[in-house]
Amino acid sequence: MIRFCAPAVRRTAGVALLAALTAPVAFTAGEHAHGHGHGSAATPAATPAVGAPGQAAQVTRTIEVVMNDQMRFVPASVQVKAGETVRFALHNQGALAHEMVLGALPDLKAHAEMMRQMPDMKHAEPNAVTLGAGERGAIVWQFTQAGTVDFACTLPGHMEAGMVGQVQVTR
């Protein structure tokens, strides 16, 4: 099942762009606070190369990630094994809102552009969480194959200022 933004947002974003960037993925995680579902180009959809939403019972380890107003993730690079399910325990230590979105870099860049056009967009997808100042949140994710999975804060200007990172998935 794919969940889409409200019709007005679909029109604004362009139906062709949404169709081009949407992958047929069934999302199982619930919404985070203050959000509504997207499952569209609004939030890059999961693909086999990126992975899949994880089950909390399958988590093998937790990776602490801090987001800050220097527009950085700490750490900005992590390593996991293919097949591993991890919990990213996120803490926004800044005074600004920040988010973490897992995806392929081209999709994250397209999403960042969309966020500039719709800066009040909120996420409710298993591969994304937006946190206000001082808030904590989590993403549970299964990395299904070896390669590189990118992550970024796609709030306007944050990605461009360097708020990006990578997950190296090894065999």
Residue 119: which pLDDT band, with cuts at 50, 70 and 90? confident
Confidence of residue 11 (pLDDT cuts 50, 70, 90): very low
Residue that wins the pLDDT comparison between 122 and 99: 99
Provide the pLDDT for residue 44.
56
pLDDT of residue 124: 74
**pLDDT tens for each residue of 139-153:** 999 999 999 999 999
Percent of the chain whose pLDDT exceeds 70 = 72
HEC string of the chain equals: CCCCCCHHHHHHHCHHHHHHHCCCCCCCCCCCCCCCCCCCCCCCCCCCCCCEECCHHHCCEEEEEEEECCCEEECCEEEEECCCEEEEEEEECCCCCEEEEEECHHHHHHHHHHHHHCCCCCCCCCCEEEECCCCEEEEEEECCCCEEEEEECCCCCCCCCCCEEEEEEEC
Tens of pLDDT, residues 81-93: 999 999 999 999 9
Q: What is the pLDDT of residues 28-62, one digit of tens each?
A: 233 333 333 334 444 555 566 789 999 999 999 99
171 pLDDT exceeds 90? yes
